[in-house]
Copies of this chain bind each other. A is one copy, B any other.
C-alpha cells in the first residue's frame, strides 16, 4: 500500500467537505469514518477517498437524512452490485417525512402571519399574538397543533 494520497490533514479535509475538524473526529468516533492513518507525531492524514466519503455524509445530512440513515446509505453504496430498492425505500420514507413537516410548517407560517398582521401595536393586554398563543381556539388551522418537532 502506497502512502500516496494520505497527505490531507484533518483541517484541510474539513474545509474540502465544508465542515469542522471536530465534526470529522465525531464521525470517526461514531464509526461513519474509519480510523485515519497517522503521522509519526499522531496527527490524522487522509486521502481523496475520505474527502468523497465525508462529502457524501455532509450532503446527505444537508438533505436532512439522519445519521442512522446515512449509515445505511453508506453501507449500501459500499456494495455497488446490490439492488437499490432499499436506497429508494429510505429516500421515499424521508420524502414523506419532509412533506408532512412542510405541511405543518406552512400552517404555522399562516398562523404567525395572522398573529403579526393583527397585532395593532398597542398594549400587551390586548395583544393578538399573546391571545392566540394563550387560546388555541383562536387558531384557524387545525394543523398547527400536534406536537412541536424541532422547529425552534
Contacts and interface: CB of A to CB of B under 8 A. Distances in A.
Determine how many copies of this chain the complex contains. 2
A123 B83 contact: yes
A15 interface: no
B99 A102 contact: no
A140 to B, nearest CB: 13
A62 B152 CA distance: 9
Interface stretch (A5-13, A33-41, A42-50, A143-151): A143-151
Nearest to A90: B129
A79 to B, nearest CB: 6
Binding site secondary structure of chain A:
helix
A2 interface: no
A91 B99 CA distance: 24
A122 interface: yes
Interface of A: 52, 55-56, 59-66, 69, 73, 76-77, 79-85, 87-88, 91-92, 94-95, 97-99, 101-102, 105-106, 108-109, 111-113, 115-116, 119, 121-125, 127, 129-130, 133-134, 136, 144-148, 150-152
